[in-house]
Structure 1
C-alpha cells in the first residue's frame, strides 16, 4: 500500500508496534434490544454475528454486520466469536437489562447539548432507492438529501434516537476542500 494517509498537524507516523491494529466495532447502548435488532436487521439488512450475555453484570452485547452472501461465517460458537472480533466495521448494540421496562428511559444521542458522539454511517449503492426504502419503512428523517447545505447526504434516526448518516460513495467526490 503506497498511500500513507493525509498529513495534518498532530498526525504521527505509525510505528511497527501498531501493525495489525484495526477498528473492530462501534458500540451503541440500546433501551430495547428487540426493537433495535428489528430496526437494524429490517432497515439496514444487518445480521447478528454473535450475542454475548454477562449475567453477573446484567447486560448483553449483540454484534451486527452487513454481510455479503459469499462471506464464510463459522458455525462453531467459539470460532465465530474469534472471527467476529477479527472483523472491521461491526456495530455492537449493548443492552443493560431492565431498561426496556422503564417507560421514560432514554440514552443521550450525542447530538443534543452537550454534544459528543455524533453518528454512525452507512454507504449505500443508490441514495434515492435507500430514501424510498426508508420512507416505505417509516424511518424518521433528520435530513433528506435535498435539504441543508450539504446535498446528497441523508440523516435518519434509529429506534433509540441515534443519528445514522447515509451516503452514496460516488456522490462524495468533490465534497469539502
Structure 2
C-alpha cells in the first residue's frame, strides 16, 4: 500500500491552482471536468503521481466556499529552510499565519501558511524526523 493523494474541496479552482503552483511551487499534473457530476478535479504535486503523494483539488461547480470544521488539521511540506520558505511565500503574495520558528513544545523549526480557502499548510525543515 501507499498514500496516493489528499483531497481538498476548493471554491475557486483557478485561484487555488495559482496558489499551489505559483506560491508553493507545485506542478499541475492533470485536470479534468466531469460535466455529468458538475465537478472538476485537478491534481498537483512536486513529482509524478506514480512515485509521489499528490494533492487533489475538487471544485464542485457553483460552490464558492466550505466550512472547514474542527477536525481538519493541515498539510505538511518538508522544505530545505523554513525561514526562507516563509519569506518567499510572503513575497509571492501568500499568507503566513505562523512565522517561522521553533514549535511550542520542541526545537523543530516550523511555519504555517493559509491557502485561498483557509486550509493550513505547515512547513517543516528537512531532516526533522531525525532530530
The answer to whether TM tops 0.5 is yes
CA contact (8 A) 1:125 1:169 kept: yes
Q: Does 1:117 align with 2:72?
A: yes
Contact persistence 1:24–1:87 (CA under 8 A): no
The answer (yes or no) to whether the contact 1:29–1:107 under 8 Å persists in 2 is: yes
* Structure-2 change in CA distance of 1:136 and 1:160 (3 Å): same
**Higher strand proportion (structure 1 or 2):** 2
* Structure 1 residue ranges (4+ consecutive) displaced by more than 4 angstroms after TM superposition: none
1:13-162 to structure 2, matched below 5 A, reads 21-67=1-47, 84=49, 86-99=50-63, 105-110=64-69, 115-146=70-101, 149-150=104-105, 152-162=109-119
Q: Distance in 2 between matches of 1:49 and 1:172?
A: 28
Is the CA contact (8 Å cut-off) linking 2:112 and 2:122 kept in structure 1?
A: yes
CA RMSD of aligned residues (A): 1.9
1:87 deviation in Å? 3.9
Per-residue deviation, 1:66? 1.1
Q: Distance in 2 between matches of 1:43 and 1:109?
A: 22
Q: Aligned residues, how many?
A: 129
Gaps of 5+ in 2: none
**C-alpha distance after superposition, 1:44-78 (max 9, x if no partner):** 111111112211110011011113xxxxx6xxxxx
More helix by share: 1
SS at match of 2:104: coil
| Structure 1 alignment gaps of length 5 or more | 1-20, 68-72, 74-83, 100-104
1:142 Cα deviation from its structure 2 partner: 2.0
Alpha carbons 2:81, 2:126 under 8 Å: kept:
no
